[in-house]
Each structure stands twice: as C-alpha cells, then as structure tokens.
Amino acid sequence: MSSQKDIVSLRRKIQRHEYLYYVADSPEISDQEYDKLLKELQELEAAQPELITPDSPTQRVGGQPLSKFAAVVHQQPLYSLDNVFSPAELAEFDARVRKGLGADEVEYICELKIDGLAISLTYEQGLFTLGATRGDGKKGENVTENLRTVRSIPLRLPEPLDIVVRGEIYMKRSEFNRLEGFANPRNAAAGSLRQLDPRITAARNLDMFCYGVLAGQRTQEEGYQLISRLGFKLNPHRRICRGLAAVQAYVQEWASRRKELDYDMDGVVIKVNSIQDQQTLGFTTKFPRWAAAYKYAPEQAVTRLEAIDIQVGRTGALTPVARLTPVELNGVIVANATLHNADEIKRKDVRVGDEVLIQRAGEVIPEVVGTVRSPDGAGANRSSQFVFPRNCPACGAAVLKDTEDEAVWRCPNADCPARVRGALRHFVSKNAADIEGCGEQIVEQLHRAGLVKTPADFYYLQSADLLELERMGEKSVNNLLEAIERSKNAGLARILFGLGIRHTGQFVAAQLANKFHSIDKLLAASEAELAGTDGVGEVVARALYTALAAPELREILRRLQKAGVVLSDNREQVSDALSGQTFVLTGSLPTLSRGEAEALIKSRGGSVSSNVSKKTSFVLLGENPGSKYARAQKLGVPVIDEAAFKKML
C-alpha cells in the first residue's frame, strides 16, 4: 500500500501539470498522460479514503448537488467601475485623478475588461475555503464547490497565506460554440457557475483571470506579481502606462485587436497603479475614484426587418420587437431586437422590408438603430408605416398612456393573460422569491391549468394537482414544492420586488424593507412616511400608497402571510440573546429547516456565515454534516446541536 508521502508527492506532481496546462499555457505532458496520473491518484485515495484532503486534484468535482446557494458577505465590497465612452471622457477622468493627487502625471495600469462574472476567492493558511459571486457588491452567493471545478483556480497555495483574490470567470468562445441554449459566452459562464450540481459546471470548462488581491501590496502591479507567484492566472496583456497619452494608445490598440482573442472583452480597465494614491482618492458611494472602464462602442450589423411584433409585459407595457433575418453580431446570431416604443419607430421611420442597422445596447440587448436603406434603394416602394395597435394584442382591451407625454402604451386590464403570466414569471425569478426550477414553461403550464393566477397561489399548490400536468413526475413535483417552501424565507425586500408594484424596483424595495422592517408597518405607513424613504420621493410615494391600499394587493399579501411567507426582513429582534454571535450551520436539523434556524438567529441579534473560521462563535450541527464540522473541530470552534441551540434562544 502506498504511503501518505507517495500520495502527497503524486498530488504535487498533478498540481504542477495543472498549473502548466491551465495557467502557464505550456504543458509538458499529453492529456492521456495527465489522465493516467489522475486515475492513479483516484485509485490510491479510494484505497485509503482517510488520506483524502480538500485540496486534492480529485476533489475538483465531488459531493452531492446543492439545494441552494448560501449568501456570503464580502470582507470588502466589490465596487463596480464608472464607465467612460470617449477619448474626451477618458481625459476628464485623468484630469480628476491628477487634481485629486495634485500631480502633473499619473502612472496607471491598463488591462482588458473581460466580459464575464466577477468572483472573490478566500484562502486561509493557503487553502481555498470560500468562493463567492459579486452579487450586489456587498453580498454574493457561495459557489465554492463550483469554483473548485475551474482548473485555473489553485486549491492550495504554495505559501500558507490568508488572502482574498478577486477575478473574472469567463468562457472561451471556442468552448461556447459547442454549447446550445445560451445567448452569449457571458451568459453561458454565469449560468454554468450557478448550477446546483458542480458536475455540470465542470463539464462547461470555465476559466478565470485574476485582477486583484487584498494583501497589503504597494502597487497594483506588485499585487499581480504576488498572485502570479502563487499560481493564479493573469491576463497577459496588462500594461503599465505613464500618463494619459500612453493610456489612450493602449485603448486604441485593443479596439482593433479584440477580435484576435478567444474570449469576449468589451473595453479596457484603467487603474491608478499606486495603492497609496488609490487610498488618497478613495470612493464615491458607487465607484472607486481611482479606476474607470473605457467601454468600446457596440458592434453593429445590417440585416432585413421581417416583421414587427408587440409583446405585453407584466406592467401592461406594449413593447415592439423587430423580427430580423438572422445575422451574426459579436459572435452571436441575432434574430430579434427591441424597437423600444411607438415614438421610436416613428422617429427612426423603420418599416417592414427595410435593411436596418442593429447593435447590442450595452453589449447585451440587441436594438434597431435605424434604417440603412430601403429594398429598392430609393424608398418609393417601401411598405407603409407601422401603425401601433390601439388594443392589447393579448386581451383586446383599449390601450392607454399614463400621461400624454409618456412614450409607452399600456394595457390597463389587470386580468390580461399576458400581464398575469409576466407578473408570475417575475415573482418566481432569482432576484424576487427565487423559486428554483420554476421556469417560464412551468409558470405557463400552471397558469393555463388555472392553478396559479396570483403570486400567493404558488404557496397553495398541491402535489395531486401538479402530478396531472405534462412532464411533471413525482420527483419534479417534490422538487418544485420544496423550492416553493424554501422561498418563504426570501424576505420582505425580495417579495416586495417580486410583487411587481409600479416604481418598486430592487433598490426601492430594499429601502422600504430597511425603513419599515415588516409588511404590517409598511401597509400602515402614510404617504408622507413613504415619501420620506430614501430613493422614493413624492411621485413614487403617491403611486406606492395607492397600490398598497388596493384590495387586490392586500388580499395577496394576506394569503402570503397565511401560507407562512416571511414578510419581514428579520430585524425586529425578539431579544438580543445572540447579539455579537456568529453561527455556521451544517447538516439537517431534527425539527428546524435551515431558513427557520437562520431566521431565529437573526431575530435575536446573531449573524449567519457560510464559512467556518476562528471568528465563528458556534457551529450548529445536524445529521450528515459536511466538511464544516471537521474544520470546526480543527479550529476548536464550539459545536452545538439543535437542543442546545434552543436553550440559547
């Protein structure tokens, strides 16, 4: 039998070849030889499972599929970047930086802006312990198991450091081309990283470039040299640029070279190189003052406008959609594009049969820019101008505008089937109630069957009713009902956003939850109190007050509460018994669901983390615990069961 020393040696050999292949791009052995080494390690570990460690190459894909991603609070916020779109705006950015530093010239570091998904990697004593998405910048999702499958991410560092590394997950174009069902490589990367089954993520061959580290370095470049030494993958095209002219030259160079790459990039990131200068400049409420993203103009294409269709959204808005002769745009085949509204169609004078110019608005949603030429070249035989419908195409109700000068026509019929289905799809979406697995087709099926007409109806679905639907077996039904049950703990802000109240987006919903804490207090609020909420104001407050007073909405809220949906943000504390205590949950508890346990902790002043560290107060242990239990034992963190937890309450 092989010794532990042999297994460790083999692991190091495999890890070295992974680095050479996935990071350095200079493999020394063939794929077959690598597979042979990995198989040998798998066999040795199978014979001696007690020697398996979390950083073993065999652990890149393993474990059972997750039921949901836990929330992660970032040690330091992941800020977004302010955008600049022209040489003049870039010069203004440089002038602001020089003024803030009192300098005639500034040293920047420029790098390609990868079109991917920002992530944060935490290492403790050199071991990869936590990987999270950017989320809203302050809080993301724990996708550690999925990030383990990305072979350019080291599972153990050559030095026992406690560091946090920032990077961008992306998918190569060559990899994207073999997939189906995704709009572009960025969507494919994001969708792959959020798979609940890590084995699916592993099959997508994601990659990563690092762009930052929290480790006390003096310059941005020093940080890059550190993480390169630790085995992380850096984009090879970064460049130190002294002064504005050098930055402009770099931006111009990559405007023409971007097609050379096997991955999407939509601009250049410019950062002040000196960390001390970065600290001097500081941050606005949204952006660092020491960095900016130069965004290239969107790519354009010419194609034929085949038809104009009208879609009805959840708020009743009628949106014209251009049906196009399929054309490639930035590596993606585009067959549909937005025309925004009736006024835009008239202003651009686009007609069916015209050759039109299209582009990606913000590199995401295709839009029609205007007519390039009519079929006959002169325009004499063009089709007639498009007449915007005066009746809803879904229900026939007469459409109207909220005000005379508004551009959007709306269907006023609250029972319009298109509006209802749109509202239901919105309610179950990720940023709202987040009912996993309840996609567009299932929502359509439930609505057609008459099982769901309002958001509250989801929480009264019965197994027997669902089993009668097409392609809904017992396992699918159980998964859906479990997802609905979990969504009861989405919280006040998400539910408010999910209800689709006019003018109540994610930000306003969060502000309302922060101020009122519960639905009962929100419903009792006066119009003046609503107007006093950050981000609301008088106009929105008036519309919100009217909406909250509507009997239909109050009935939905009553039924949600009756079904057990938590309509509070869990900050109305019952007591402060757990104040200052941080808990980590692992395994299945005898009587409490994970959501219920977390709500109890938060209601008593405690906090919940997904990662065990020396700062953890207690690990709440259930049946079939994961690796968190072993880590708690290693660190000496107190472990308690449900009975002890309830006594603490």
Whole-angstrom CA distances from 466 to 152, 455, 564 are: 43, 16, 20
| Tokens, residue 624 | 């079939």
What is the rounded CA–CA span in Å between residue 207 and residue 232? 11
Whole-angstrom CA distances from 367 to 303, 321, 346 are: 12, 9, 15
Query: Residue 575: exposed, middle, or buried by beta-carbon count in 10 A (0-12, 13-18, 19+)?
Result: exposed
| DSSP E strand stretches across 243-299 | 265-272, 291-295
| Tokens, residue 395 | 């229900």
Strand partners, 110: 239, 270
Q: Evaluate whether 263 touches 139 at the Cβ level (below 8 Å).
A: no
State the residue for tokens 């057609």. 448
DSSP three-state, residue 3: coil
What is the rounded CA–CA span in Å between residue 29 and residue 13? 11
What is the rounded CA–CA span in Å between residue 538 and residue 266? 38
DSSP string, 139-167: EEEB-HHHHTT-TTS-SB-SS---EEEEE
Whole-angstrom CA distances from 125 to 156, 158, 162, 202, 462 are: 9, 10, 5, 26, 49
Give the Cα-Cα-Cα angle 298, 303, 308 (nearest 5 degrees). 100
What is the rounded CA–CA span in Å between residue 29 and residue 48? 27
Residue type for position 628: K
Active-site residue (options: 5, 113, 286, 602): 113
Catalytic, 113? Answer yes
What is the rounded CA–CA span in Å between residue 633 and residue 195? 30
DSSP three-state, residue 622: coil
What is the rounded CA–CA span in Å between residue 348 and residue 606? 57
Give the Cα-Cα-Cα angle 625, 626, 629 (nearest 5 degrees). 75
Strand partners, 242: 107
| Tokens, residue 8 | 């460790």
| Tokens, residue 338 | 């937005």
Whole-angstrom CA distances from 454 to 75, 416, 424, 497 are: 39, 12, 7, 14
Nearest partner of 221 among 107, 392, 139, 324, judged by Cα: 107
What's the Rg (C-alpha) of the chain?
A: 27
What is the rounded CA–CA span in Å between residue 382 and residue 353? 7
| Tokens, residue 462 | 């019965």
Q: Evaluate whether 491 touches 569 at the Cβ level (below 8 Å).
A: yes
**Alpha helices, H only, 115-229:** 144-147, 173-176, 185-193, 198-203, 220-229
What is the rounded CA–CA span in Å between residue 606 and residue 90? 46
User: How many C-beta neighbours within 10 Å does residue 418 have?
Assistant: 20
Whole-angstrom CA distances from 403 to 77, 318, 513 are: 40, 15, 30
Catalytic residues, by residue number, are 113
